[in-house]
Amino acid sequence: MNKLLLTTLLLASTGLSAENLSVNMKDLNSGEIVGRILIAQSDYGVVFTPQLSGLPAGLHGFHVHVNPSCETSEKNNQTILGGAAGGHYDPTKTGQHGYPWSNNNHLGDLPPLYVDMNGNAVQPVSSPRIKLTDLSGRALMIHAGGDNHADHPQALGGGGARLVCGVIQP
């Protein structure tokens, strides 16, 4: 009982709701679980709090993808790890990659995920436009490279290969 009360008070003090999601994240090369990401609605948008380890250090593109799958797919005779997740979540069909706070791009464009020199990602990121209700039945994807929040010089922010994926369950 005391733990439940303490958790509720902590969430209330941060502006997060008591309803949240937890997504197990899988390394697409090895198939191993590398941790999880907690997702909660706040007064300022959705907060994604990673608890990940064993990742390459640096900034990584981080996105909500359309389909609830992390399976491999084939495209133009090439194998794409996590390809069944589809593209970035874009319900208004903007067809553009951009910042999480701008209105003329994919709704699934999130801030980059920071991984420290020890391979751990624990720094929360928040996205002001997306809502917790938008996420059920989608996938979270971490890309191998960073994200410049534009389609130039490379499409989709230049994040490159899909590295880690998790399916967001209701």
Is residue 7 assigned to a domain?
A: no
Domain that holds residue 125: 15-168
Is residue 162 assigned to a domain?
A: yes
Average pLDDT, integer, range 101-110: 87
Is residue 164 assigned to a domain?
A: yes
**pLDDT, tens digit, 9 for 90 and up, residues 118-149:** 999 999 999 999 999 999 999 999 999 777 66
Is residue 4 assigned to a domain?
A: no
pLDDT at 40 over 80: yes
**CATH number for the domain including 38?**
2.60.40.200
Is residue 8 assigned to a domain?
A: no
Number of domains in the chain: 1
Is residue 58 assigned to a domain?
A: yes
Among 32, 66, 59, residue whose Cα is nearest residue 125: 59
Is residue 73 assigned to a domain?
A: yes
Among 61, 64, 65, 49, residue whose Cα is nearest residue 16: 49
Is residue 107 assigned to a domain?
A: yes
